[in-house]
Amino acid sequence: MTTYSAARLQGISVFVQAVDAGSFTAAGLRMGLSKSAVGKSVATLERRLGTRLLDRTTRRLALTVEGAEFYQVCRRILAELDEAESHAASRRQEPAGVLRVSLPVAFGQRWVMPILVALAQRHSGLQLDVSFTDRAVDLLEENIDLAVRLGTLAESSSLSARALGHQRSVICAAPAYLAARGVPQDIADLTAHDCVTFGRQGHALPWSTPGPDGTVVRHRIQGRHRISDGEALRSALLAGLGIGEATTWLVAEELRSGELVGVISEDSLQSGPIHAIWPTTRDLAPKVRAAVDALVDAFLPVPPWEDSPPVAP
């Protein structure tokens, strides 16, 4: 049997990362290496194989014909190695190793991070590597073990998912604002009010109210203010900047304390599902299984932020 040194396997891994990242610099950032170290590793691999794998330009890397063939084989080998390691790790009952997690910013900080911290405290061998972003990261491309997603998921054969419940939204405002400007009774009344909308990619998301037949009616609101961050939206509403729609997980404490009050509808409405997602593997690693189980235990059947919000008189 051929003996494979660590350096030999490292060279293959660096080559694949360079192709996936599109440059030696980006690959180095992913792997914690310098640009020159990545370049030297690829050059050593080419010398050992006796063929050129990449054509370098100042702007990008391009695979040669031989490089493209070698890349496909290397990707398959590394994927099978990852699966073998995952299979071996699944035999261990104790969650251990680095758990790489991607979380939405506000929701992740408020509700998921405390669960992960408690999980790490219970398992001394577990190491957390948590990143926060509201974009939909590519778990396979960015080597993420687990992510939490808000909203409807796109279909994917490479990802598995576990439902964690639903978001709910409520139209609300600070009592001081309502005392000064009056309490709107329906959506039409909002034309006389300052509205604070949540923006995404330059557009304000619609607000929702219950329809007469139990359906959900979407409304395009012309807001005076548009804010693209959940915590900033919450702060604006608390400051009395206007009326806004917010998820109950974001303003649950303020609704309970009376710092914010629901208006127009007495009921909060479902505004999208919450899921935990992870790359599909034959055997789920204990660290991922433990994290998913902890999230399910915390959020189901009733999430901790759910409560009946007070409604303005």
**Position 240: which residue type?**
G
SS3 58: coil
Counting every residue written for the chain, the total comes to 313
Q: Which residue has the higher pLDDT, 10 or 67?
A: 67
Output DSSP code: residue 108. Answer: I
pLDDT, position 238? 97
Q: Are strands 146-150 and 97-103 parallel, antiparallel or unpaired?
A: parallel
Q: What whole-number distance in Å separates Cα of residue 111 and Cα of residue 117?
A: 11
- Binned at pLDDT 50, 70 and 90, residue 92 comes out as low
Q: What are the start and end residues of each CATH 1.10.10.10 domain in the chain?
A: 6-90
DSSP states of 183-234 as a string? ---SGGGGGGS-EEEEEETTEEPPEEEE-TTS-EEEE----SEEE--HHHHH
Give the CATH fold of the 168-270 domain.
D-Maltodextrin-Binding Protein; domain 2 (3.40.190)
- Quick: pLDDT tens for 93-145: 789 899 999 999 999 999 999 999 999 999 999 999 999 998 888 898 888 99
- Quick: pLDDT tens for 195-249: 999 877 668 888 887 777 767 778 888 888 999 888 999 999 999 999 999 999 9
A 10 A CB-CB count for 211 gives: 10
CATH architecture of 6-90: Orthogonal Bundle (1.10)
Give the CATH fold of the 97-166+272-299 domain.
D-Maltodextrin-Binding Protein; domain 2 (3.40.190)
Q: At which residue do the structure tokens 């660590």 appear?
A: 6
Q: Is the dihedral of CA 82, 88, 93, 97 positive or negative?
A: negative
Does the structure show a pLDDT above 80 at 266?
Answer: no
Q: What are the start and end residues of each CATH 3.40.190.10 domain in the chain?
A: 97-166+272-299, 168-270
DSSP states of 220-261 as a string? ----SEEE--HHHHHHHHHTT--EEEEEHHHHHHHHHHTSSE
**Position 261: which residue type?**
V
Q: What whole-number distance in Å separates Cα of residue 41 and Cα of residue 46?
A: 9
Could you tell me what percent of the chain has a pLDDT over 90?
A: 45
| pLDDT mean over 13-36 | 86
